[in-house]
Amino acid sequence: MIKSYRGRLSNNETQIINLHTNNGKTGYRIVKFQTMPKSPENQNEEGTLQIFTVEAGATAAAANGEVNFNDVTLIAASFYSSATGATASPEDYTVIFDNTVFNQDIFMGCKSQGEMNYYIELEQMDLTEDQALVAIVKNLRNKQ
């Protein structure tokens, strides 16, 4: 089953997508992540949206916009830019997401010149007791 979420984030804003359940036996994996600015017709626009398994990662990403693939809590990143001028690229769009299965809430952070829209699709799956426990312990360890 695929669940979709969409919304908009402003510069330096974070947002939570509530996914946790009481027993942790529902898992998710990102299958699609798309972003675009609030006003795509603007000539000069730039923005980064990132998805983390912990709130601290999203807060830091919103504050400085740094993308760090060494961060094990980062599960998706998107960069959008458009510019005018002879030496500028007219449009650039990059999206990367991990194949990680998670069963807790996820957190988005935005660093942009304006507001950025997002659309995310998550594959929902049933987890065994052992898989749920592993996902929960991994998430708790990453929060430290």
30-62 exposure pattern, b = at least 16 Cβ within 10 A, e = fewer: beebebbbeeeeeeebbbbbbbbbbbebbbbbb
Domain range for 94: 2-143
pTM: 0.87
pLDDT at 76 over 70: yes
Percent of the chain, pLDDT > 90?
47
Count of structural domains, the chain: 1
Asked whether the beta carbons of 21 and 124 are under 8 A apart, the reply is no
Structure token digits, residue 118: 């997002």
Would you say residue 84 has pLDDT above 70? Answer: no
Residue 65 CA to residue 57 CA, distance in Å, equals 11
Give residue 91's pLDDT band: very low, low, confident or very high (50, 70, 90). low
- Does the pLDDT value for residue 88 go beyond 60? no
Residue 100 has pLDDT above 60, yes or no: yes
* 58-69 per-position pLDDT tens digit: 888 888 888 999
Mean of the pLDDT values across residues 46-64? 89
pLDDT of 42 higher than 70: no
DSSP structural state of residue 102:
B
